[in-house]
A and B are shown apart, each in its own frame.
Chain A
Amino acid sequence: MSLLEVKGLKKVYKTRFGGQSVEALKNVNFSVEEGEYVAIMGESGSGKTTLLNILAALDQATSGTVLLEGKDFSKIKENEVASFRRDNLGFVFQEFNLLDTFSLEDNIYLPLVLAGKDYQEMKATLMPIAVSLGIEDLLKKYPYEVSGGQKQRAAVARALITQPKIILADEPTGALDSKSSDELLSLFADVNRMGQTILMVTHSARAASRAGRVLFIRDGEVFHQLYRGEESDDMFYQKIIDTLTLLAQGGERA
């Protein structure tokens, strides 16, 4: 059984007034195995964000199913959604989404505190993660005092600390300079090597080339996918670029 299974996912948005409806997702099917590192690529408007919102249980699909370890998202009760998200999913966002009223340390603790964990226990969990992410000296600082790369690493720590089944990353390098981006991507690769499943949405080929598999979405459907196999980052990058070019041309022709 796959860790995450997405079958026949469809999402239709209705405008508030009148019957105009927009199909954001048409028919999305894919699955993610445990320990995999999957990148989802697509241009803006392709439905990436909608897909991620549904996978994050922040939004509900019009039809189709999402199964995490065989558990159907649509079967989760309204009042359990938040705790389900907290226990099973870790999030990394483009805009970091750190609360400016908390120090980095407290930002990282947030999901654990919500889960009712003890302070000593939280502290013990945090230290190894902080060390491996290289932010152990920054923990007392506030978001406004540190750089974007450091903020994003704190956000990764917050995602990891609950030991989630899967990490959902939404354009994690979108707001970072190239050096910080590379550092973050290496971090993701390291984390993945230790067995963490990652699903990343991006439109950066550089970012996608670090994943084990890349799904291409266009017009609300999985259009194509690439496996890295034994290829190096650079070779895989070239392959992705080629596919994107092909996609773009195909788009024009169609």
Chain B
Amino acid sequence: MKKFFYPRLAWDGLRKNRQLSRPYLLTCICMVAVFYILSYLNSPMALALVVKGASVVRDIMNLGRFVILVFSLVFLYYTYSFLLRRRSHEFGLYNVLGMGKRNLVRIIAWENVITFAISMTCGLFLGILLSKLAELGLVNLLGGTIDFVFRVHTTSIWQTFLLYALIFGLLMLSAVIRTARANAVSLMKSENAGEKPPKGNWLFAILGVLILGGAYYIAISVSNPVTAILMFFIAVVMVILATYLLMITGSVKMCRILQSNKGYYYKAKHFVSVSSMAFRMKRNGAGLASICIIATMILVMLSTTTCMWFGAEDSLKKNYPREINTVVTLRDPAKLTDGSPEQAAAIIQDYLQEKGITPKDIQEQRFVSLSGVQKDGFIQCDYTTASLGADFSTLREIYLVSPDSIETSDNVPLNLAADEVVLIADGMDFSDDTLTLAMGDKKHSWKVRHYERKDTGGTTSGMGFPIMTVAVSDLDAAVKDLDKGDDADGREIQSIWKYSFDTGLSDEENTALDNDMDEELRERIRDVFTNDAIMWHYTESRAGGSADFYGTYGSLFFIGILLSIVFVCAAVLIIYYKQISEGYEDAKRFDIMQKVGMTKKEIRSSISSQLLTVFALPLAFAGLHLIFAFPMIRKMLALLSLTDVALFMRTTLISFVVFGLFYAIVYRLTSRVYYRIVSGGSQND
């Protein structure tokens, strides 16, 4: 009997505080389950089922696991300390009744052990159960063998067990330290200690506005996708900081300003609401800011990963315009016009004929590729100065082509003089009369014959830069003036021959064909162009590339959804706890107001308007953050060849609406708990 005294007391403690401990337990279970699922998907056992991009999937699942672990630690610590604070009265009572700190610590330790045991058992059970579903989902997304074998990965179980044992150990340690420091009276009191009226600090409020403004400015002004990635993280940190500052002090300051406006403040409608809001925001500012940050995180994650997933096909086509592409990069542009390309094309065609494959939609491209920075009146093409640090809006990709590769509207071949070019600009405007390319000190100028393009594909390059297609009468001569030859960074001027076609074969056959061509034709094609002239040569297939594409985007999409679920759980828990703690605080106030002469209806409407404000604030802020993050994320997506703005806008909007609906439902449900507490309090008195 005596042996089970502490476990029993601990169990009773958890049971009596159901309202608080049950959601906490559910969150623990959810985190354990998700961690196990990710560990399982990360195991060789599950990866074997995935056909496309297993290595990418592993990396991404590992990243997801790490995120969950860190989040678990931070979030469980946050909720657990909330739990302890609410229960400090109970512990104080035990202390007054003669329990020493040592005994209290034992109760707390037992509570943690019980919580851990329940979370582990239920979490692992749920995780194992749902891991099959997750596996099916992932395999379905990425393509692979669907079977109905139920797998359990013991190593993952052990990892989950040990890591969460560590987390719970840390939680317990923090609780023990907290209890050891407190004394009985302060434990009894801590919940209803007199509270200073919130002041609302001008400095912090203004700082919050400035930091937020700065972050937004960065977000909309960044034009370089590469710096966008770095700046995005800076902006995120700034936004988080500003959100906390604004929610905690800015909102209080706002209430204070309203209060100093006597005409507005001393109206029955505003009087109670405004003054309670100041206190409410002071107490809940941090919680609201957390909800806002989590909401923004979910929205960014969902909208981006869904956009990646649904844009994958498009992005793939942009990177691989045909099913099979053979690319030969040459040092010498002369090789493009000396008949070698025709020979190489013939080799490929013969090879395909032998195999019984008819190429369709053949596209043969010959061009000299340069990239440069648009300056005042000329384009500087040195790769070193045109490094990625430059302003991206001035970066250009330049393709020099021979006149016959430009399709004219009347099919009459272009006749170009030696100092004349025809220029087609994609993704930019070019109306100058001369085109000047510079390489180091060397420059070459042409007169521009403006030309109405027949084919209006209107594409930018894979990286999202504008492309200038320039037809010159003599490729060789054009380059000779500029070429500096090889340097340490490679060659700045590359001559490219590209032979692409569709086959109409299956993905597997295309991948095989790509490998065969790469191997069997390598020597023959190298012979045609002569080995010295070739920088590199390869054949690639869209099907082969799609493995990496879908592996990456599919598993990011998958992780995005899974992590969103976890974050949503966390947000729900914060909202729920906020409603409960506010309920207890408001119950007393509700009672007083009634005695002083407010009708129940007045009180109720005042409270519900306050609750609604508190509810809508994080969502509104999250929406605002999202709007400003949009241009920045769009630029980063462009790096991944995802340039479909309309698609991204759609996924963002849908994510917001879905999340908003869900949030509203959670709000409805949790306010019920709130009203129950509030009205229960007034009945008791």
- Asked if A110 meets B278 with Cβ closer than 8 Å, knowing A82-B602, A119-B266, A122-B266, the reply is no
Contact assessment for A142 and B197 in the assembled complex, using a CB-CB cutoff below 8 Å: yes
Q: How far is the CA of A144 from the CA of B602 in the complex (A)?
A: 26
Residue from A58, A100, A118 within 8 A of B595 (CB atoms): A58
Of A101-109, A173-181, A223-231, A238-246, the one touching chain B: A101-109
Answer whether residue A26 sits at the interface, using C-beta atoms and an 8 A cutoff: no
Which residues of the other chain, A, contact B262 by a CB distance below 8 angstroms? 119
Contact assessment for B596 and A158 in the assembled complex, using a CB-CB cutoff below 8 Å: yes
Answer whether residue A127 sits at the interface, using C-beta atoms and an 8 A cutoff: no
Of B70-78, B268-276, B506-514, B518-526, the one touching chain A: B268-276
Contact assessment for A82 and B598 in the assembled complex, using a CB-CB cutoff below 8 Å: yes
Contact assessment for B267 and A113 in the assembled complex, using a CB-CB cutoff below 8 Å: yes
Answer whether residue B263 sits at the interface, using C-beta atoms and an 8 A cutoff: yes
Q: How far is the CA of A94 from the CA of B596 in the complex (A)?
A: 14
Contact assessment for B596 and A101 in the assembled complex, using a CB-CB cutoff below 8 Å: no
Closest to A107 in B: B596
19 contacts between A and B (CB under 8 A): A82-B598, A83-B597, A93-B595, A99-B589, A99-B592, A100-B194, A100-B279, A100-B589, A101-B278, A101-B279, A110-B272, A110-B596, A113-B267, A114-B596, A114-B598, A116-B268, A118-B266, A144-B194, A144-B196
CB distance from B591 to the nearest CB of A (A): 8
Which residues of the other chain, A, contact B599 by a CB distance below 8 angstroms? 79, 81-83
Interface centre among A58, A81, A97, A109 (most CB of B within 10 A): A97
Answer whether residue B133 sits at the interface, using C-beta atoms and an 8 A cutoff: no
Interface centre among A98, A100, A115, A119 (most CB of B within 10 A): A100
Answer whether residue A111 sits at the interface, using C-beta atoms and an 8 A cutoff: yes
CB distance from B678 to the nearest CB of A (A): 15
Name B127-161 residues within 8 Å CB distance of A.
none
Closest to A144 in B: B194
Return the CB mask of A43-70 against B: 1 if under 8 Å, else 0: 0000000000000101000000000000
Q: Could you list 13 further interchain pairs (A-B, Cβ under 8 angstroms) beyond the known A99-B589, A100-B589?
A: A58-B594, A79-B601, A83-B597, A93-B595, A98-B592, A99-B593, A101-B197, A101-B276, A101-B278, A111-B597, A114-B268, A114-B597, A142-B196
Return the CB mask of B339-363 against A: 1 if under 8 Å, else 0: 0000000000000000000000000
Name A162-212 residues within 8 Å CB distance of B.
none
Return the CB mask of A75-104 against B: 1 if under 8 Å, else 0: 000010111011000010100011111110
DSSP majority for the B interface? helix
Which residues of the other chain, B, contact A58 by a CB distance below 8 angstroms? 594-595
- Asked if A97 meets B596 with Cβ closer than 8 Å, knowing A103-B197, A119-B263, the reply is yes
A-B contact count (CB 8 A): 74
CB distance from A144 to the nearest CB of B (A): 3
Name B147-197 residues within 8 Å CB distance of A.
194-197
Contact assessment for A91 and B276 in the assembled complex, using a CB-CB cutoff below 8 Å: no
8 A-B pairs closest in CB distance: A86-B597, A144-B194, A82-B599, A119-B266, A97-B592, A119-B262, A113-B271, A142-B197
Which residues of the other chain, B, contact A109 by a CB distance below 8 angstroms? 266, 271
Contact assessment for A82 and B597 in the assembled complex, using a CB-CB cutoff below 8 Å: yes
Which residues of the other chain, A, contact B271 by a CB distance below 8 angstroms? 106, 109-110, 113-114
Which residues of the other chain, B, contact A122 by a CB distance below 8 angstroms? 266
Residue from A86, A101, A116 within 8 A of B589 (CB atoms): A101
Contact assessment for A91 and B595 in the assembled complex, using a CB-CB cutoff below 8 Å: yes
Contact assessment for A106 and B595 in the assembled complex, using a CB-CB cutoff below 8 Å: no
Chain B's interface size range is 20 to 34
Closest to A118 in B: B266
Which residues of the other chain, B, contact A85 by a CB distance below 8 angstroms? 597
Which residues of the other chain, A, contact B596 by a CB distance below 8 angstroms? 86, 91, 97, 110-111, 114, 158
Q: How far is the CA of A86 from the CA of B598 in the complex (A)?
A: 8
Return the CB mask of A142-155 against B: 1 if under 8 Å, else 0: 10100000000000
Closest to B599 in A: A82
Which residues of the other chain, A, contact B268 by a CB distance below 8 angstroms? 113-116
CB distance from B680 to the nearest CB of A (A): 13
Which residues of the other chain, A, contact B593 by a CB distance below 8 angstroms? 99
Which residues of the other chain, B, contact A82 by a CB distance below 8 angstroms? 594, 597-599, 602
Contact assessment for B275 and A101 in the assembled complex, using a CB-CB cutoff below 8 Å: yes
CB distance from B22 to the nearest CB of A (A): 26
- Asked if A102 meets B275 with Cβ closer than 8 Å, knowing A142-B197, A144-B195, A158-B596, the reply is yes
CB distance from A48 to the nearest CB of B (A): 15
Contact assessment for B266 and A113 in the assembled complex, using a CB-CB cutoff below 8 Å: yes
Interface centre among B196, B267, B272 (most CB of A within 10 A): B272
Which residues of the other chain, A, contact B597 by a CB distance below 8 angstroms? 82-83, 85-86, 110-111, 114
Q: How far is the CA of A81 from the CA of B600 in the complex (A)?
A: 11
Q: How far is the CA of A58 from the CA of B683 in the complex (A)?
A: 11
Contact assessment for B275 and A106 in the assembled complex, using a CB-CB cutoff below 8 Å: yes
Q: How far is the CA of A113 from the CA of B602 in the complex (A)?
A: 13
Q: How far is the CA of A99 from the CA of B268 in the complex (A)?
A: 15
CB distance from B66 to the nearest CB of A (A): 43
Q: How far is the CA of A56 from the CA of B596 in the complex (A)?
A: 10
Closest to A81 in B: B599
Q: How far is the CA of A122 from the CA of B266 in the complex (A)?
A: 10
Closest to A121 in B: B266
CB distance from B456 to the nearest CB of A (A): 65
Closest to A78 in B: B599
Which residues of the other chain, A, contact B194 by a CB distance below 8 angstroms? 100, 144
Closest to A100 in B: B195
CB distance from A104 to the nearest CB of B (A): 11
Name A9-33 residues within 8 Å CB distance of B.
none
Return the CB mask of B228-271 against A: 1 if under 8 Å, else 0: 00000000000000000000000000000000001100111001
Which residues of the other chain, B, contact A100 by a CB distance below 8 angstroms? 194-195, 279, 589
CB distance from B427 to the nearest CB of A (A): 58
Closest to A103 in B: B197
Which residues of the other chain, A, contact B598 by a CB distance below 8 angstroms? 82, 114
CB distance from B57 to the nearest CB of A (A): 53
Return the CB mask of B184-212 against A: 1 if under 8 Å, else 0: 00000000001111000000000000000
Closest to B592 in A: A97
Q: How far is the CA of A102 from the CA of B271 in the complex (A)?
A: 10
Which residues of the other chain, B, contact A86 by a CB distance below 8 angstroms? 596-597
CB distance from A100 to the nearest CB of B (A): 6
Which residues of the other chain, B, contact A144 by a CB distance below 8 angstroms? 194-196
Q: How far is the CA of A113 from the CA of B270 in the complex (A)?
A: 10
Which residues of the other chain, B, contact A101 by a CB distance below 8 angstroms? 197, 275-276, 278-279, 589
Which residues of the other chain, B, contact A113 by a CB distance below 8 angstroms? 266-268, 271
Q: How far is the CA of A142 from the CA of B194 in the complex (A)?
A: 10
Which residues of the other chain, A, contact B595 by a CB distance below 8 angstroms? 56, 58, 91, 93, 97
CB distance from A126 to the nearest CB of B (A): 12
Closest to A109 in B: B266
Q: How far is the CA of A70 from the CA of B117 in the complex (A)?
A: 68
Closest to A89 in B: B597
Interface centre among A81, A93, A102, A110 (most CB of B within 10 A): A110
Q: How far is the CA of A113 from the CA of B595 in the complex (A)?
A: 15
Which residues of the other chain, A, contact B276 by a CB distance below 8 angstroms? 101
